[in-house]
Amino acid sequence: MKLVGIALRSESRAVMEERQQITITTVAGLEGDFRGSNENRQVSVLSSAAWQAVCDELGQAIPWTVRRANLLVEGLEDFKNSTGTIIRIGAVELQVNCETDPCSRMDEQVQGLSHALEPDWRGGVCCSVLQGGNVQVGDEVQVRQAD
Question: What is the pairing mode between strands 71-74 and 141-144?
Answer: unpaired
pLDDT at 107: 82
CATH number, residue 119: 2.40.33.20
* Tens-level pLDDT at each residue, the chain (147 residues): 999 999 999 888 888 999 999 999 999 999 999 877 777 789 999 999 999 999 999 999 999 999 999 999 999 877 888 899 999 999 999 999 999 888 778 888 899 999 999 988 999 999 999 999 999 999 999 999 887
* Per-position DSSP letters for 64-85, written without gaps between them: GGGGT-SEEEES----TT-TT-
Strand order in the sheet with 29-30: 29-30, 21-25, 133-136
The whole-angstrom separation of Cα 107 and Cα 111 is: 5
**Count of structural domains within the chain:** 1
For residue 98, the cross-strand partners are 126
The whole-angstrom separation of Cα 36 and Cα 3 is: 19
Domain that holds residue 22: 2-144
